[in-house]
Amino acid sequence: MAFTAKDAKVLRKRSTPPGVHGLNRARLSEFAVQLREKQKCKINYGVQEKQFKRAFNKAKKMPGVTGDNLIRTLEMRLDNVVFRLGFAETRYQARQLVNHGFFQVNGKKVDVPSFSSKVGDQIMVREVKRKTKYIQSIAEKIKNFHPQDWVSLDPQKLSGKVLSVPTPQQVGNQINTQLIVEHYSRI
């Protein structure tokens, strides 16, 4: 089947959005830009609206910059700490592992991904789960893994420790938290 001139015209990349009003689309409103930033943050950390709003309200009550506190609050969630320690390749996978009871915090089984870790918490793979194929495969991968500065990893013991509360610079934050704060201030 050969392409005709008409087919080539249809497949050509256009510089305008599709539709009759493609040329007349205005730039995004301020609200839309703020909403997109909030959605980007929610997707990045894998949380739902209710969880995100709860984290925002917690961050708002803390002393300091609300946007930085929001990132700290989201980073200290157990599923994110497990991800940062290298026990999972994605935050979603870390969330699944925590849900299935793979980890204990300070010697106690925790299966709640939103569990808020604290400085000094010891997170380790439970003895029962060490024999699973996944943990055996991840044990090889984390031998060469270098976690962020605010957590430490002991690959032989399959454990890690929260050393400090992360700063936005340590996290490598690509999210404009100021837009999120402005978004919630207008609601």
Same domain, 145 and 92: yes
Number of folded domains in the chain? 2
pLDDT average, residue stretch 17-30: 76
- The per-residue pLDDT for 16 is 75
| C-alpha–C-alpha distance, residues 98 and 113, integer Å | 6
Backbone φ and ψ of 154, nearest 5°: -115, 95
Q: What is the pLDDT of residue 17?
A: 72
* pLDDT for 100 beyond 70: yes
Which residues constitute the domain of residue 47?
30-74+169-186
Q: How confident is the model at residue 9 (pLDDT cuts 50, 70, 90)?
A: low
Q: Please indicate, yes or no, if residue 25 is contained in any of the structural domains.
A: no
> Does 119 share its domain with 155?
yes
- Examine the pLDDT at 7 and tell me if it is beyond 70: no
Beta strands in 101-172 (DSSP E): 103-105, 108-109, 122-125, 151-154, 159-162
- Same domain for 141 and 66, yes or no, is no
CATH number at residue 180: 1.10.1050.10
Average pLDDT over residues 100-121: 95
CB contact at 8 A, 82 and 129: no
Mean pLDDT of 124-134: 93
Reply yes or no on whether the pLDDT at 126 is more than 70. yes
